[in-house]
Structures are given as C-alpha cells and as structure tokens.
Amino acid sequence: MKRRDFIKNASLTGVGLTVGNSLLNCAENSSEKTKKEMTITTNKSKNPIAICTWGFVNANAKAGEELSKGIKALDAAIAGVSVEEKNLKNTTVGKGGAPDREGNVTLDACVMDSNGDCGSVVCVENITNVAELARRVMTETPHVMLAGLGAEEFAYRQGLEKDNLLTEASKKAWKEWLKSPEYKPLINIENHDTIGMLCMDTDGDIAGACTTSGLSYKMKGRVGDSPIIGSGLFIDNAIGGAVATGMGEEIMKTVGSFLIVELMRNGMSPQKACEEAVNRITNKNDRYKDFQIAYIAMNTSGDVGSYCIHKGFTYMKYQNGVNKNVHSDYFIKS
Ligand code: SD4
C-alpha cells in the first residue's frame, strides 16, 4: 500500500479527523506563532541554494546545477549525495565506506521533503544509493523507516542493484585496524565525512538528504544519528532545515537538527541556532573535547549558518552559480 492510500485509509477510520481538530484548536490558540511563521514565509527566497557538510565539491556542484535547471529540492539533494555514495575514495559514505568491526559495510540514510514527508533506512548492506532507497521508503511504502535485511530486500524489489560495498582499500584498512583493534568511538575527531545536504529550489522549497556508513569499525548493528529524522536531518519548509555530522550518539541525545529548526522558528538565525545546538552538548558533556559535532542550517530566506566543536569543519555552499568551501566557526578556540 502506498503512503497516500495508507493516509487516506487512516483518515477514513477517524485518525485524520482527530488530527484535523487538534490542528484547528492549535491554530486558534497560537495566533502569535502563526504571525511569526507567516513573516518568515513571506521572506521566502527563490534563489536556488545547495549546502552540504564537508568539502564535497562535486556533490554540491551537482545539486546546485540541478537546482539551477529548475529541478525540485529533494531530487537535487539525492542527486548530489549520490555522487559521494558512488565515490570509492570516500570512506564514510556509500560504496568504499569503512566496515563495522566484523568487516560488514552497513549504511544509514534519510531524506526529508518540503511537504514534511520523510524516509529512512538503517544498517543496510549491499546497496550503494541508500538515500534513493530512503526516498523509496517514503514514496512507495506507508512507513518512514526500514532496517537491515528488510530494507535490502525492498531495494531489490524496487530495482536497485546489489553491490559489494567493501572495496579492496577499505578491506586493507580494516585488516590493518584488526591488528590492534581499539574500540574508542569517542576519540573520533578526524574520521567524519558523512554527507548531509540541504537544497532550496526555484520555488523556494527546502528538502534534504543525509547518508553515511557511520563510525568506522563500529559494533555490528550500531546506528548513528544520520538516518534518524530530527537528529541527522530535519526540514520544516515554513522555517528552514538543518543537518548534522559527527558523533551520532551525542547528536541523537539532543535531537540536534530538530532543535536547530525549532530555534530558528523562535527567531534565531541559522548561525545562532547551530551555536546553541552545539552549546547544548558542550554544556552537559564534559568529554566534548574528545569528539566532533558539526551542524549546518538554512532558513527560508536563504541565510546559512554553521557551527562545530573542533576547528577544521568546512561546508560547501552553491549559490548564483558559485560553489565555495566555507570554514565553519567552532567552539574550542584554544
Ligand atoms: C554517525 N554522524 O554515524 C555519523 C558519523 C559521521 O562522518 O558523521 N561521519 O554517527
């Protein structure tokens, strides 16, 4: 059953009616908030923008070019991140990603569209384009998330090809790691290259995608923030969007991307919202020096912000045909 039919059936059984009534009540009681949202929506930019975590020049250029042609935000974001999923040199995304400590490459991804719909896959083996697979979960099932073998089998039914994700180079690096395997996921400042991308299209709509192989040599079955809606990615088309990279466990504990969008809803700029989301982590976790967290965010006016714990995080921004690498501000100054 497709999601549309599922939702239609649900409303026939009364679920939709209940939601509808509560929304009505909510609207009556929150005229201030509605006014604020309307102001933000009025400022809606229609100038295509693509931003993504880290220095993924080609992926961001691909998304930016698609947007400039008038392609919708979600299509552009998936086209963009798939460049990295196919990039064998990227050892934390897609094919060529580092395996878990038992040698299995397992991928996590999610997508979120401007209409608030979303899809996610976790711990998937043998499929390279997991962001596309997450989109299929969104459009072709009544669900948001599929895991492991179920997600993989669904991928084959959708016509996605089986692929061996463990490259010779990743296998060699893993074998090397096995010689003195230390499981210290906290000390992982350098080894983060997840791609999270936000796109604004020529209609001013925002959508995003996030895809990763997660922590290198992770425990079998470990899933990070990247495929978790609200943690690795969140979009509200009336407000903006945010994506995360870094130590997933800490991002999940603060539901980082959702937090940033909510802070923007309450009037913060994307920059201030990213700073506040990092502060939430550094304020309550005194081990923050041992891990990296980085956020990027964009609002409906096309303003962009970014903040991270450690120096060294950069992001890409494509706007007006220019694709540039931007150094993020950071928390630990000395
Ligand atoms: C995770 N956030 O699985 C991801 C890791 C990451 O670049 O960002 N890697 O926790």
Kindly give, in sequence order, each residue whose CB lies less than 8 Å from that of residue 9, ignoring residues fewer than 6 positions away: 1
pLDDT at res. 15: 33
pLDDT tens per residue, range 178-227 = 998 876 654 445 556 799 999 999 999 999 999 999 999 999 999 999 99
Instruction: Specify which residues 213 forms β-bridges with.
Output: none
Residue nearest to atom 3 of ligand 1 (CA): 214
- pTM, full prediction: 0.88
pLDDT tens per residue, range 128-169 = 999 999 999 999 999 999 999 999 999 999 999 999 999 999
pLDDT over 70 (residue 41): no
Is ligand 1 within 6 A of the CB of residue 262? no
pLDDT at res. 261: 98
pLDDT over 70 (residue 103): yes
Token pair in block for residue 320? 């007006």
Locate all alpha helices (DSSP H) within the chain, ordered by sequence.
3-12, 15-29, 31-42, 57-68, 73-86, 130-140, 148-157, 168-179, 248-253, 256-265, 270-284
DSSP 8-state secondary structure symbol assigned to residue 49: E
Is ligand 1 within 6 A of the CB of residue 236? no
pLDDT at res. 28: 34
The Cα 151–Cα 145 span in angstroms is 9
C-alpha 81 – ligand 1 centre gap (Å): 15
Is ligand 1 within 6 A of the CB of residue 193? yes
Read off the pLDDT band of 13 (50, 70, 90).
very low
The percent of residues in the chain predicted with pLDDT above 70, rounded, is 84
Q: Which atom of ligand 1 is nearest to the CA of 196?
A: 8
Q: Is 194 a catalytic residue?
A: yes
| Lowest mean pLDDT across 25-29, 47-51, 213-217, 248-252 | 25-29
The Cα 236–Cα 131 span in angstroms is 19
Give ∠ CA 319-323-324 in degrees, rounded to 5: 110
pLDDT over 80 (residue 287): yes
Phi/psi of residue 121, nearest 5 degrees: -130, 140
Set 92, 194, 211, 300: catalytic member: 194
The residue with tokens 């940033």 is 260
Is ligand 1 within 6 A of the CB of residue 218? no
Give ∠ CA 107-104-146 in degrees, rounded to 5: 35
